[in-house]
Amino acid sequence: PSPRACQPNGANEGALRCEIEELKQKDLALDQEIAQLLSEGYSLEELEKHISLLHEYNDIKDAGQMLLGKLAVIRGVTTKQLYPEYDLELSD
Protein backbone atom coordinates (compact mmCIF):
# COMPACT_ATOMS: atom_id res chain seq x y z
CA PRO A 1 0.00 0.00 0.00
CA SER A 2 1.07 3.55 -0.64
CA PRO A 3 1.45 6.06 2.23
CA ARG A 4 -1.78 7.71 1.13
CA ALA A 5 -3.63 4.39 1.35
CA CYS A 6 -3.48 4.47 5.15
CA GLN A 7 -5.17 7.70 6.08
CA PRO A 8 -6.09 7.81 9.76
CA ASN A 9 -9.85 7.70 10.08
CA GLY A 10 -10.22 7.80 13.81
CA ALA A 11 -9.06 4.21 14.24
CA ASN A 12 -5.57 4.76 15.64
CA GLU A 13 -4.79 1.07 16.00
CA GLY A 14 -5.81 0.40 12.41
CA ALA A 15 -3.75 3.34 11.16
CA LEU A 16 -0.73 2.10 13.10
CA ARG A 17 -1.13 -1.43 11.72
CA CYS A 18 -1.34 0.00 8.23
CA GLU A 19 1.77 2.13 8.79
CA ILE A 20 3.65 -0.91 10.13
CA GLU A 21 2.67 -2.88 7.03
CA GLU A 22 3.89 -0.04 4.78
CA LEU A 23 7.22 0.05 6.62
CA LYS A 24 7.58 -3.72 6.27
CA GLN A 25 6.97 -3.41 2.53
CA LYS A 26 9.55 -0.61 2.24
CA ASP A 27 12.04 -2.70 4.24
CA LEU A 28 11.48 -5.66 1.92
CA ALA A 29 11.88 -3.46 -1.18
CA LEU A 30 15.12 -2.01 0.16
CA ASP A 31 16.45 -5.48 1.01
CA GLN A 32 15.68 -6.57 -2.55
CA GLU A 33 17.40 -3.49 -3.97
CA ILE A 34 20.48 -4.12 -1.81
CA ALA A 35 20.56 -7.77 -2.89
CA GLN A 36 20.37 -6.67 -6.53
CA LEU A 37 23.25 -4.22 -6.10
CA LEU A 38 25.33 -6.83 -4.28
CA SER A 39 24.70 -9.30 -7.11
CA GLU A 40 25.98 -6.65 -9.53
CA GLY A 41 29.27 -6.56 -7.66
CA TYR A 42 28.84 -3.61 -5.31
CA SER A 43 30.02 -3.97 -1.72
CA LEU A 44 28.14 -2.82 1.38
CA GLU A 45 30.99 -0.43 2.17
CA GLU A 46 30.67 1.10 -1.29
CA LEU A 47 26.92 1.52 -0.90
CA GLU A 48 27.27 3.06 2.56
CA LYS A 49 29.91 5.50 1.27
CA HIS A 50 27.67 6.45 -1.65
CA ILE A 51 24.72 7.08 0.68
CA SER A 52 26.93 9.15 2.97
CA LEU A 53 28.14 11.25 0.04
CA LEU A 54 24.56 11.78 -1.14
CA HIS A 55 23.59 13.04 2.33
CA GLU A 56 26.56 15.41 2.34
CA TYR A 57 25.69 16.65 -1.14
CA ASN A 58 22.07 17.29 -0.13
CA ASP A 59 23.15 19.19 2.99
CA ILE A 60 25.49 21.39 0.95
CA LYS A 61 22.86 21.94 -1.72
CA ASP A 62 20.28 22.92 0.94
CA ALA A 63 22.71 25.44 2.42
CA GLY A 64 23.41 26.88 -1.03
CA GLN A 65 19.70 27.18 -1.77
CA MET A 66 19.15 28.94 1.54
CA LEU A 67 21.94 31.42 0.81
CA LEU A 68 20.66 31.98 -2.71
CA GLY A 69 17.21 32.65 -1.29
CA LYS A 70 18.53 35.17 1.21
CA LEU A 71 20.53 36.92 -1.50
CA ALA A 72 17.42 37.08 -3.70
CA VAL A 73 15.46 38.70 -0.86
CA ILE A 74 18.21 41.26 -0.28
CA ARG A 75 18.32 42.11 -3.98
CA GLY A 76 14.55 42.03 -4.35
CA VAL A 77 14.59 39.41 -7.10
CA THR A 78 13.60 35.77 -7.41
CA THR A 79 16.12 32.99 -6.94
CA LYS A 80 15.42 31.98 -10.54
CA GLN A 81 16.76 35.37 -11.66
CA LEU A 82 20.05 34.71 -9.84
CA TYR A 83 20.76 31.37 -11.53
CA PRO A 84 22.31 32.78 -14.73
CA GLU A 85 24.56 35.11 -12.69
CA TYR A 86 26.13 32.08 -10.99
CA ASP A 87 26.06 29.78 -14.04
CA LEU A 88 23.43 27.54 -12.45
CA GLU A 89 20.89 25.44 -14.30
CA LEU A 90 17.30 25.47 -13.07
CA SER A 91 17.66 21.73 -12.58
CA ASP A 92 20.53 22.35 -10.13
Taking only the tens place, the pLDDT of each residue in 32-53 is 998 998 899 988 898 899 999 9
Would residue 2 count as lying in a domain? no
Q: What is the pTM of this model?
A: 0.55
Report how many domains make up the chain: 2
User: Within this chain, do residues 27 and 53 fall inside the same structural domain, yes or no?
Assistant: no
Q: Is the same domain home to 52 and 21?
A: no
Burial of 79 (0-12, 13-18, 19+ CB in 10 A): middle
Are both 82 and 61 inside the same structural domain? yes
* Gap between the Cα atoms of 8 and 19, Å rounded: 10
2-6, 61-65, 86-90: which has the highest mean pLDDT? 61-65
**For residue 77, what are the CA distances in angstroms to 13, 26, 68, 70?**
49, 41, 11, 10
User: Which structural domain range is residue 26 located in?
Assistant: 8-42
Question: How high is the pLDDT of residue 1?
Answer: 47
More confident residue, 14 or 60: 60
The reply to whether 1 falls in a domain is no
